[in-house]
Amino acid sequence: MTASPRRVTQRDIARMAGVSQATVSLVLNNRTDAEVRIASETRDRVLRVIAETGYAADPVARRLASRFNRIIGVFTYEPAFPSGSRDFFHPFLLGIEEYAESVGCDLLLFTSAPVLDGRRRIFHQDNRLRLADGCILLGREIDGAELQRLNRDGYPYVAVGRRDDADGPVPYVGADYASAVAQLVEVALRHGHRRLMYLNMGTNAESSEDRRRGFRAAATTAEAAGEMSALSGEADTTVDTLLAHGTTVVFVEDFATAVALESAARRRGLTVPGDLSIVTLGDPTVPVPTDIAFTGFRIPREEMGRQSVEVLTGVIDGSAAGLQQRLLACELVEGNTLGTPDPAVDRH
């Protein structure tokens, strides 16, 4: 299949015309008032490049141009650029930047928020939210009290990831974890697995609860389906516990834990998936070196970033119809860590 050509952006026009992106924006919006002076030859050069490339300004950009600053805030409850989690946040930020550029918006990363009780807080003495027309919220867990205040204040925002109501519905773009996990359970059942275990991270985040809900709903036909928390970082102990329960397949919330379990199984002379199948429920949140192709699913993080900006601009300019809550499908990954259990092995 031939890839579709990349859409020309204002940044491209600015580069080809040898001007700033702000100048391109002014020309597109036909700003000719006394406060804005653009040389006629500069304006003509920008218009010529626009004509040659066939550039068409995004309608969202036109709606935002006259009434707003066109600045979108990004607030992360966890640091966005630590070495440990950069690989997880990076696709979200790529998607956010890509769509913001396409509609001519600048991004403002709020980094001055104080850390209280180990967590960042949106609202503080030097709160600068109003510098932006609206804000995108990123984080595994988002403070419910702050969501309540955002709802009460009527400040435009969108959360990345599904969020529970907070004195009112929360606009969000999330991943449909429940459906993805349910599909993986159904695949395991078709492979003949009847003794399933879910290994959770011990958090109350909505993303974790959605995964657990999908597992419970789909595992009802199994002979035995249970849930346990990861055991204090001791993968060997966890493997022993799984085998003691007769588990044939374990669904692991945390990718790094899945890698540790596979290594622990091999140390015991076991094979994956021969003796124990391992299914992962999402991408690594920290870089984990491994050559194992785990069966699981990928989170549409970049698309979640793009659509979060799309939703937010609709909330800001009033074009959004009704409550904006989107769940995007995850991509199943076949991998090679889910097999058929050996019927000759007594697991009871």
Q: What does the pLDDT profile of the chain (348 residues) look like in tens digits? A: 444 455 677 788 888 889 887 788 777 766 555 456 788 888 888 888 887 877 766 555 554 455 577 889 999 887 666 545 556 788 999 999 999 988 888 899 887 777 777 677 788 767 778 888 999 999 888 889 999 999 999 999 999 999 999 999 999 999 999 999 999 999 999 999 999 999 998 788 999 999 999 999 999 888 888 888 876 668 999 999 999 999 999 999 999 999 999 999 999 999 999 999 999 999 887 778 889 999 999 999 999 999 999 999 988 887 776 678 999 999 999 999 999 987 666 555
* H-state helical runs in 18-71: 21-28, 40-53, 59-65
Phi and psi torsions of 333, nearest 5°: -120, 120
Residue with tokens 């959770």: 200
Domains of the chain as residue ranges with CATH: 10-65 (1.10.260.40), 71-175+302-329 (3.40.50.2300), 177-299 (3.40.50.2300)
pLDDT at 86: 53
pLDDT at 32: 54
Name the pairing type of β-strands 277-280 and 249-252: parallel
pTM for this predicted structure: 0.78
Name the pairing type of β-strands 296-298 and 331-333: antiparallel
Helix pair 10-17, 21-28: axis angle to 10 deg: 110
Q: Which residues of 56-90 are buried (b: 16+ CB within 10 A; e: fewer)?
A: ebbebbebbbeebebbbbbbbbbebeeeebeebbe
Which tokens in the block code for residue 313? 């601009």
